[in-house]
Structure formats: C-alpha cells, structure tokens
Structure 1
C-alpha cells in the first residue's frame, strides 16, 4: 500500500515525538524553526523508519484513528446542518408531502427519477405509507442524473398543481430503464394529467427556483447522491431497507 508523502511525514514526526520523550517535549515547546537541525531530523527519521518497518501495524492504526476522527467531524457538521436547515427540510410549503400532512414523524427523501436505487426503495416507501398512518413523507426533487431527470422533476412538480403529483411520482419510479421527455409525458398522460397545462407549468420560474433551492439545500448538507433520507437528526445516504426505515421512524417517534 502506498501512502501520501505528507501523511507519512506526519506519522514520522508524531511517532518521533511519542518514542523519543525528551526530544518530543522539545518539539512541543519550541517554535517550528528551532525544533531540529538537519542532522537531528535525519537521526529521528531513521529511528522512526526502523521502528515502523518492524511494527507496520502502527500505520494502519494511525490511519484508522484519522478515519474515525474525519467521520466524527462529518457527522457533527451534518447534525449542525440538519438543525440549521430544519425548516427548509420539513416545512417548505412548495415541497410535495405524501402520507399524513399532520404526521408525528417526518421522513425527507432527496431523489432522482433515473436513480436505480431510488426505484429500489420506492416500494418499501409505499409500504411504509400504507402501514403507518402517522408518517409524513417530504419529497425533495434532486435531479442530478442528466437532462431527462430534470424534465421528470419539472413534470412531477407541475403535476402537483393538478393534484396529480403522487400518482405521477410512483408511475415514474415504476418505469424501468432510462427516461426520455416523450416517455415522461406519455406516463403523465396515462395518469390522467392535462398535458397542455403540464407543459406550460413545467416552465414556470417558480419550479426552477424550487429545484435550485433543493440543490442548494443538498449542497449545504453534503448530499452528493441519491437517494438520501433524513429522519430527525440523522442523514442516511443510499438505498435504506424497509426494516431499517421502520426502526429509524420508531426511534424518531420515541424521541419526540
């Protein structure tokens, strides 16, 4: 395994400070320019190199610590972001809401109609809505997989104005394979929507602004792909299974 030179140099100095106590104390108390001469540094690096060659597991241990700390920092940022953007996530009046609008637990989903994993969780979500009368599902259109994704998102949001969002949403999710604009409009027509009106509403600037806001919100929360679910103060990327969603909803309900 090859390690970045900067990371390896950092490990060398950290190990030197730990192993060579007097010198380590000196390193901690003196300014950087006065810490070591070239000869001293070379001697330290030789000692550390020999030690690491004899104990290579230390490198993996150190990398594990770095990874855990990085994960903890990311989770902390996410919790802060979820708290800061709670209203935009859960109470945006423009966002479609499925299930019980007055439900006691809110589940938020960022999704794309061309995302295979989003389609995979479509049936589990419908199952949740059928079995949990107090679940509130907030839909965040997040078209990131090409022009057809954007057309589908616009069509779905435009369908909301005809009271047909939910039916079109599930119909688009049920479609297998890549979407085209003609297929999207055909699916919309099959659900009973007025296509002339739909086309007009799809170009409404307020829909453009709504999608822009969803993208900005996803960026603020470091959401890079779909699907992504939010329940309370937890953000879960990827295709979360039905049992896991049930458990998360139950935990959120118990904490409320």
Structure 2
C-alpha cells in the first residue's frame, strides 16, 4: 500500500481514530512509512479493513469512477492489441482482390471498412470516408459488406448483395457510386427499403439483373466469417494496414465510429510501417 490511494486511505483511518496512538507521529512520516504502517495494522486487524474501506469509498466516489475508467481503458487497449494481431494474421483475406475496393490495387496502404447499410453510425461516417478517399488517392479502400442487421431488417442483406453484384459486374466506380447513393438516402435502423436500394442500383443493374443477387451470398458470408474471426462485434469497424511490407505494429484497428483526423493518422502510421 505505497500508492497515493493508500496514503490517502491511511490518513482517513488516522482521522477516524483507527490509529490514535500514531495520529501525531504520522505527520512526520514519509508516504512509504505510512504505507508500511497501514500494511502492518491491517494484517493484524483484517476485520477492520472492509468497514473502513467501505466508509472511505463512500466519501471518495471519484476513486471508483477513476478506477472504472482506467480498467475500461486497459481492457480496450488489450482488445485492440488482440484485434491488431488477428488482422495481421488475416491480412490476405482482408485484402482479397475479389473484395469491392477503390484506389490502386498495388497501394502501399489499405483501409478496410466493415459496414452495414442499415447502421446509423455507418451512415454518419460515410461523408467523412468520402473526404478521406478524396484526400488519399494512393490508398486502397476496401469495403467489407457486414450485414449484421439482416436478421432484423432483411433489406440489410439485400443491399449488401446488390452492392456485391454491382462490383462483380460493373467494377469499382459503379460500386462506389451505389454505395454512396444508398447512404445518401439518410435511411437506416430499419427505415431503408428495397425500393431505396433498387433506386440506388437502377443505373447499374436492370430489374432482371437484380434477380441474380443471391449469387453474391458466398462473398457476404465470407465477410461475416472473417469478422467473427477478427472479433468484430459491430459496425462500422476500420482496419488500416500496409498491403505488403511492415508488421502488426503498423496496423490500426478502430472498432467503432471515428474522425477524419484519426483515420488520416492511421494511414500515415501504416505508410511508415
């Protein structure tokens, strides 16, 4: 008990009369000596520790808040490190050339996004991503359809299948135009309809061609399986990584919405990797 918490806690115990014989002496002791005094006392009187601790915490709730925040930050950091390692392990699948993408195929850096067309946060981040794409013509942007809401809102899966079909039949620019058109409807969380999807796809797929979108299901299922292996639990999720050289330390995993600045910093880090 040599931390500032221990010293503060001991001072509280002294003021409460736990160590009345040492109350005056404690004023001249160092933090380390105070900590040692506390350790010895509570080893001899373990029954008093819980009661004093409960009283102290009730009068210092900010300690619980700080402890909770520190624990959460530590857990998030550990989780990101795990996901970072997993992403590097799955690099070949993440960067599969068969996946919808825009930008140079041989780019030094790739930004991979897992998304769902019914996800409100994906919708909100899309204009940001458009700006990042414009600002980074040398980066490859990879789009992993990840329709996690399809069981609740089937249009989620339909929109993903239409997008994959446009990519397979019409290429990158058609896919990106469709992708942005769906998000520009501003409809999500169940509001997006099949009609909205069809209108976004009209320029690229005929009604007859849209009947074949089920052929895209294997690609979508592969994304779902990949996301599970990467421990991606929601959308959006971003992985920014070198395409060739580098190592796992150059990978940035962002499990959630973000900002243009953070994405740009992650791209710069991957470029150095």
TM-score normalized with structure 1 length: 0.73
Partner of 1:182: 195
Structure 2 CA distance for partners of 1:80 and 1:114, relative to 1, 3 Å: same
* Residue number in structure 1 paired with 2:134: 130
Count, aligned residues: 221
The correspondence of residues 1-256 of structure 1 with structure 2, limited to 5 A, is 20-22=38-40, 42-53=47-58, 55-90=60-95, 92-145=96-149, 146-163=153-170, 164-177=174-187, 178-189=191-202, 191-200=203-212, 202-204=213-215, 207-232=216-241, 233-253=251-271, 255-256=272-273
Asked if structure 1 preserves the Cα contact closer than 8 Å seen for 2:42 and 2:48, the reply is no
Q: Distance in 1 between matches of 2:210 and 2:117?
A: 18
Alpha-carbon distance in structure 2 between the residues aligned to 1:176 and 1:113: 10
User: Shift in Å at residue 114 of structure 1?
Assistant: 2.2
Per-residue deviation at 1:41? Answer: 5.4
TM-score (norm 2): 0.69
Specify every segment of 5 or more residues in structure 2 that has no aligned partner in the other structure, as ranges.
Answer: 1-34, 242-250
In structure 2, relative to structure 1, the CA distance for the partners of 1:67 and 1:172 (3 Å cut) is closer
| SS of equivalent residue, structure 1 residue 139 | strand
> 2:19 maps to what in 1?
none
Q: Distance in 1 between matches of 2:48 and 2:72?
A: 29
Alignment RMSD, CA only?
2.8
Q: Secondary structure in 1 aligned to 2:211? A: helix
**Which residue of structure 2 aligns with residue 11 of structure 1?**
none
